[in-house]
């Protein structure tokens, strides 16, 4: 099999710079209060003005990253700083924890129960520090990061509804995100501190949450790492597992660890084979590791981020290991993705398809989908394909 | 249009007593620890042993109700008391709040954040008191009921993640459930206290949460009763609205209030017309009152309880008002329901269908579906049809 990487690079770049980014610059900026609207309908019209800290941070990160890595466009930096000012002014409680959501004018709506608000804020301010060199951004990024590490043992804090002691579970999401965040923020931290965090995260992601018999990644495990035969313990989120593998490939590249890269590639392919819908195409959203009935009513849906993150893992995996299976799967996932998600009439991409690949919800953004996975993935595939030309 | 109510009564009774109840008596009883398993797969095999207080209470209620209203079978009372002993022993924290879930042997898993655990426990023990006359059951029922009323202003208590003051919303679910619970428990309470609660609930359900322009019931409103143009404020749950209407019809019958019954019938029909899927049949799970994109990825699915509760509202509505539209719709919803939900191979009914009416999750029970809506609805339609013979 051969792929024309030059064409791949052009296509992903053109989609990023010619469709997706203009959609967000045209429709999402709140010029009155700062920050971004992310609840955009199919046409890009704002249908809800609430501001979700996950998505505020992610969009700041995205525009700062474009400025740092694509082109020093003042407009991109301005957009990032517009979001950063809003977050800086309104985003945290008195203890420096990031709220989950805010009103359009910045009043807190939902308490800081969700540590990923903090993760995406740290990521945003660390990337913005790279763009500006401003110490205040560095302080917010590192202060938030240390707070995340401090809270990691009990991320939901007083909002934890599980009774301690009966069934203590650990969740895959946090070590997974830390694999990526550690690389995003390492220029601001002591080398030793970063190394310790990275080696802990790699161990979590590659060993603790890995089911060696089935070759799949568990979303939750008992706190001693063993399997929990419960709804949470049986849960598989294929997109999470595959996305984590490109975070690990980036760490493997950083450390020149070819064996780690090869293992991450094997796992990417295995999870993908296990979660591809042979009837309708696309990757399932959730599976049960024992095949038991799921509680997630959305289990069979096809989501934008799952497919985009898979494309990133496959092309990075191919570049690092030369594994031909990565190319075969890249072509298959690419074809599914491009024929189902982009909206050629009104721009940007749909987020939520049903099992058959039909549009389930036509909006371009909401409480969870913002300016992040599609543009970040397009950028990652573009830049990786360029290196393969 | 004419319906043979005798045939309807027979069919619903036979399904209740010949299929649904035997499925639960055969598969759900935990003879080791007491209580019920509700996570039953298509064949009735237990695939998860956690116990959810909503469903424990509902199954106690169901069997006590069969004993009280269908036949004094000792087996049914034993099953109800088996659940009640488990709940009594393990279900509450030291303040008398009901946990959300427990392990199979009764250790608390999830804290009492959900006031509906308390509602279904109160309903269970009040019905069991009717069966046995036991004061301890009465004490649990009335103590729990008073605790619900005390907590009603802030039902989630310390687990509330919304910041007080920014956007104070009231939710339809609690007044809706109280309309039913008040009737279930009134034999144990002072008449004046009950009247006050009932008139408050009717006002909430019929006025506060009602959008008079669109004729629909809002799931959440501002605390002054006004419309909140937010995700929560725009949400419509047609099944909730329609179910609430038969609770109101029961209250109307109790009070001989024919105008109230007629209004409840009009609203049932209007919500139903608004939420029927013209393309594939069935009633949508969620809608947005402005037609904006929803956050609920399951919005277009067809759920067991929605259809069963609708059948109850339609036949009760017909009996109380003679409105022929009720019969027309009863026939249509009956045909959809009976051709999609029952599992003729392994018994009981499916819970979750996709928009097209195909089985999405083949289990017969889980974290939310137990021995409740199907048998209660079959019983209600049976008994109402009998009165129409």
Q: Which of A185, A206, A77 is nearest to A140 (CA)?
A: A185
Residue found by looking up tokens 């690079």 in the block = A9
Q: What are the chain B neighbours of A354 within 8 Å (beta carbons)?
A: 300, 354-355
DSSP state of B40: E
Q: How far is residue B359's CA from residue B15's CA, in Å, rounded to a whole number?
A: 20
Sign of torsion over alpha carbons A252, A253, A257, A262: positive
| H or E element, residue A14 | helix A5-15
Helix (H, G, I), strand (E, B) or coil at B352: strand
Contact across the interface for A50 and B231, Cβ inside 8 Å:
yes
Question: Does pTM surpass 0.80?
Answer: yes
Phi, psi dihedral angles at A12 (to 5 degrees): -70, -35
How do B287-288 and B302-303 pair as beta strands?
unpaired
Q: How far is residue A162's CA from residue A352's CA, in Å, rounded to a whole number?
A: 30
Give the nearest chain B residue to A164 (CA atoms): B109
Give the nearest chain A residue to B361 (CA atoms): A293
Contact across the interface for B41 and A294, Cβ inside 8 Å:
no
Return the pLDDT at A1.
60
- Measured in angstroms, the CA of B358 and the nearest CA of chain A are apart by 12
* Identity of the residue in A294, A362, A363 whose CB atom sits nearest the CB atom of B361: A294
* Identity of the residue in A50, A295, A352 whose CB atom sits nearest the CB atom of B297: A352
Residue B295 in contact with partner chain A when CB distance is under 8 A: yes
Q: What are the chain B neighbours of A362 within 8 Å (beta carbons)?
A: 293
Instruction: Give the A:B interface size as CB pairs under 8 Å.
Output: 104
Residue B144 in contact with partner chain A when CB distance is under 8 A: no
In sequence order, what are the residues at sequence separation of 6 or more whose Cβ sits closer than 8 angstroms to the Cβ of residue A148?
A115, A118, A119, A122, A178, A181
Give the nearest chain B residue to A232 (CA atoms): B48
User: What distance lies between CA B127 and its chain's CA centroid?
Assistant: 15
As a whole number, mean pLDDT of residues B9-36 equals 98
Residue found by looking up tokens 């371009």 in the block = A364
Return the pLDDT at B2.
78
Helix (H, G, I), strand (E, B) or coil at B171: strand
Contact across the interface for A161 and B103, Cβ inside 8 Å:
no
Contact across the interface for A166 and B367, Cβ inside 8 Å:
no
Q: How far is residue A134's CA from residue B21's CA, in Å, rounded to a whole number?
A: 68
Instruction: Compute the C-alpha angle A101/A104/A106, nearest 5°.
Output: 65
Residue A161 in contact with partner chain B when CB distance is under 8 A: yes
- Answer for the pair A305, A365: CB distance below 8 angstroms, yes or no: no
Helix (H, G, I), strand (E, B) or coil at A99: coil
Q: How far is residue A174's CA from residue A115's CA, in Å, rounded to a whole number?
A: 8
**DSSP bridge partners of A108:** A102
Q: How far is residue B262's CA from residue B252's CA, in Å, rounded to a whole number?
A: 9
Lookup: tokens for B260 = 């109230």
Average pLDDT value over all residues in chain B: 97
Residue A213 in contact with partner chain B when CB distance is under 8 A: no
pLDDT in tens, B242-279: 999 999 999 999 999 999 999 999 999 999 999 999 99
Residue found by looking up tokens 């493997």 in the block = A252
As a whole number, mean pLDDT of residues B277-290 equals 98
Q: How far is residue A48's CA from residue A37's CA, in Å, rounded to a whole number?
A: 8
As a whole number, mean pLDDT of residues B171-187 equals 97
Contact across the interface for A109 and B163, Cβ inside 8 Å:
yes
Q: What is the pLDDT tens value at each position of chain A, 389 positions in all?
A: 679 999 999 999 999 999 999 999 999 999 999 999 999 999 999 999 999 999 999 999 999 999 999 999 999 999 999 999 999 999 999 999 999 999 999 999 999 999 999 999 999 999 999 999 999 999 999 999 999 999 999 999 999 999 999 999 999 999 999 999 999 999 999 999 999 999 999 999 999 999 999 999 999 999 999 999 999 999 999 999 999 999 999 999 999 999 999 999 999 999 999 999 999 999 999 999 999 999 999 999 999 999 999 999 999 999 999 999 999 999 999 999 999 999 999 999 999 999 999 999 999 999 999 999 999 999 999 999 999 99
How do B302-303 and B101-102 pair as beta strands?
unpaired
The total number of residues shown for chain A amounts to 389
Lookup: tokens for B52 = 């959810």
- Measured in angstroms, the CA of A186 and the nearest CA of chain B are apart by 32
Lookup: tokens for B308 = 């069963």
Mutate to test the interface with B, among A297, A350, A357, A368 (most CBs of B within 10 A): A297
- Measured in angstroms, the CA of B93 and the nearest CA of chain A are apart by 11
Q: How far is residue B121's CA from residue B13's CA, in Å, rounded to a whole number?
A: 26
Return the pLDDT at B1.
60
Q: How far is residue A146's CA from residue A125's CA, in Å, rounded to a whole number?
A: 14
């Amino acid at each position: 099999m051969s792929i024309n990487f030059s064409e791949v690079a052009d296509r992903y770049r053109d989609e990023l710079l010619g469709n997706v980014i203009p959609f967000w610059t045209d429709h999402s900026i709140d010029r009155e209060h700062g920050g971004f609207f992310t609840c955009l309908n199919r046409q890009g019209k704002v249908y809800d003005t609430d501001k979700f800290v996950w998505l505020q941070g992610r969009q700041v990160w995205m525009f700062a990253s474009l400025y740092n890595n694509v082109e020093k466009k003042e407009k991109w930096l301005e957009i990032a700083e517009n979001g950063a000012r809003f977050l800086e002014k309104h985003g945290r409680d008195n203890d420096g924890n990031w709220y989950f959501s805010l009103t359009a004018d910045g009043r807190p709506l939902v308490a800081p129960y969700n540590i990923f608000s903090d993760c995406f804020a740290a990521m945003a301010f660390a990337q913005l520090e790279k763009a500006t060199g401003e110490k205040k951004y560095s302080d917010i990024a590192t202060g938030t990061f240390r707070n995340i590490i401090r809270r990691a043992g009990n991320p939901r804090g007083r909002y934890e509804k599980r009774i301690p002691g009966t069934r203590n579970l650990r969740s895959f999401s946090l070590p997974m995100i830390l694999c990526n965040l550690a690389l995003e923020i390492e220029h601001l931290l002591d080398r030793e501190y970063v190394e310790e965090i990275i080696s802990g995260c790699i161990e979590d992601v590659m060993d603790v949450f890995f089911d060696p018999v089935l070759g799949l990644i568990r979303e939750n495990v008992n706190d001693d790492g063993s399997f929990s035969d419960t709804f949470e313990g049986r849960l598989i989120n294929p997109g999470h597992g595959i996305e984590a593998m490109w975070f690990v490939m980036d760490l493997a590249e950083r450390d020149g660890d070819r064996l780690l890269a090869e293992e991450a590639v094997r796992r990417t392919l295995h999870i993908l084979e296990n979660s591809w819908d042979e009837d309708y195409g696309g990757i399932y959203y959730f599976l049960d590791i024992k095949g038991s009935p799921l509680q997630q009513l959305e289990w069979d849906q096809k989501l934008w981020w799952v497919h985009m993150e898979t494309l990133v893992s496959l092309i990075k995996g191919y570049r690092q290991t030369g594994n031909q299976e990565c190319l075969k799967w890249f072509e298959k996932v690419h074809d599914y993705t491009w024929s189902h998600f982009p909206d050629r009439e009104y721009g940007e991409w749909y987020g939520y398809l049903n099992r058959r690949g039909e549009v389930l919800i036509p909006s371009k953004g909401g409480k969870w989908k913002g300016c992040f996975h599609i543009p970040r993935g397009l950028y990652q595939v573009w830049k990786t394909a360029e290196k393969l030309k």
